[in-house]
Structure 1
Amino acid sequence: MKLGLALPTFGPDARPEGILRICRTAEDMGYDSLWTGDRVLAPRVPSAPYPSSTGEMPRAYENHMDPLVALTFAASHTTRVHLGTSTLNGLWLPPLMLARSLTTLDVLSKGRLIVGLGLGWMPDEYTAVSVPWKGRGARLDETLDVLEKYWANDVFAHEGTQFTIPETVVGLKPSQRPGPPVLLAAFSPGGLRRVGRRCAGWLPVAMPLPHLLGMWDVIQKEAVEADRDPAALRMALRVNPELTDTKTDPDRMPQAGTLAQYIDYARAAAEAGVHELFVDFGQIPATLTERVDLAGRFLEGVRRG
């Protein structure tokens, strides 16, 4: 199983020094990937609760960087690690502009981009960028159509219910062909169906492994029904640890626990067939130096197993 780290693109460490520190940490320690998320708004009173046990949006989100710009910066200071979005809210940009940005990043990173797309959780952000909240699934499908055409064709046009693109020559091609892998953060029946039928894989968040594997089984079955090879799909699991000083009840994992418990969870995920797991230490009350230390101990603990 590959292991990754989240870049500090939220909170007080979202600055060049913080990103550089984690970039160097990842490459020096032997991590496989770096990941960043996406926010455009931090309302004092969100219209929808944050999808966590408390329902409260992390205060770190009040200071947020552009994920693709941050990954471009990371690409210029690394040579080996892959660069992923977890997740990029794929509907906030017109798909043609999204295709251009993603292709540019894949070229500049020499084929290290992993495109993780999601729909977000907060209607306020859609309001802020003048994109309808309703009809997100259909809009995502058409966005995926445009990405596929942009990457596969030297000349293409698109006429859909959401977007119209006149015929255009596309000279810029990604380093990865036919294009960078597109993973989807999805949990609804329709979303799991979309992953299995047209995406390269799934971007779940940490949950009890029996539940995780049950959803993965749904995705695999959808791939078979669409005449796709289920073995070709990949799963990249995000872990947002809430670290405790003492061991928690197993029923609370992976919601909260000690570092040792999260190491055990990662080992069990590897044994269960998870392809990649990345951890975000950026949402715990710790300094950047302490997070680097945690990253080293986590990697050593998982690899030792």
Structure 2
Amino acid sequence: MSLSIGIDYGRRSWKLCLLDEAQPPEYHCFASPAELLASLTRLCALFPEPVITLAAGNGLPLERLDRLVSEQVNALTAGYDEPLFPPSTPAASTVSEALPPAQEGPPLVLTSFVETLRSLNLHSYVLPSLAHLPTVPAYRLLLERLPSSPAAVCHVVTLLYRLRQREASWPEMRFLVLEAHSASWKILVVEDGYLTNGVHGTPQDLTLPLLPLATAPTEGLFEQAYWEGLLRDLAGLLAIHHLDEVVISGRRSETLATRLGEVYQLYYFPYAPHEPHGFEAALGAALIASGLQHPRSLAAEVVQHLQLWRSVPVF
């Protein structure tokens, strides 16, 4: 049995997708990194050497975790290792109690998670963010708002895989992919099936001080800022890339369809029957893991087309 495991490691969300060719995907969500690690430990004990892919932190060029040097780990985890809870809170003690003996004390953070996973499984890989893909022109790396999360790339991997299942050709895949969440958005550009550009945005946090002459922060102001910022980014990328189709997902997708459905050609993300929403990135990571194992599979075709394979060692 060849098992493929994809992990979407967020700041407050830890998700896992498990793929076995003979079974439907399994989706799991965890309350803490410690719970996720405990589940991975059980899976590695039951199924020797599954392929595990990790969408976490700032991403790196696709590489095995056990081959990363300390500088790469630092680049991956920069800005992601703040404690999940203050040390004195009950939640912190709960997380600490769930950790393996070697991790007793502070809450498990991304660096600790990476170090533990690389020792747990030799076929564990870190996944790239948009900035690590060779299809993104070098000058766009100078733009500050490229989506930095590998989860955004994995989200698109799932979409492209679904389109290839429907026999769409690569040259037909020319559109934007928009994730509209409660307080942020991500837009990625797909041209001929390649990822070439993207942007992420969020209005200023209402808890932060505004300009001295601004009115007091309200939910209405936040909403106005949210929609103007999203529309500005959406219209700009559509104009720059001469595209007219947008695939939407996220908590605000229904509102997005209502507000913009008559202005833009919007299409909902193609979910499978009974598939839970919110696991697109975890599934995409698992598809990459599957593509690394099975070089003649449809998942491998997506991995190769996106040129994720360039730094992958041969099994």
The two structures have a TM-score, normalised by structure 2, of 0.30
Pair member with larger Rg:
2
Higher relative CO (CA 8 A, sep ≥ 6), structure 1 or 2? 2
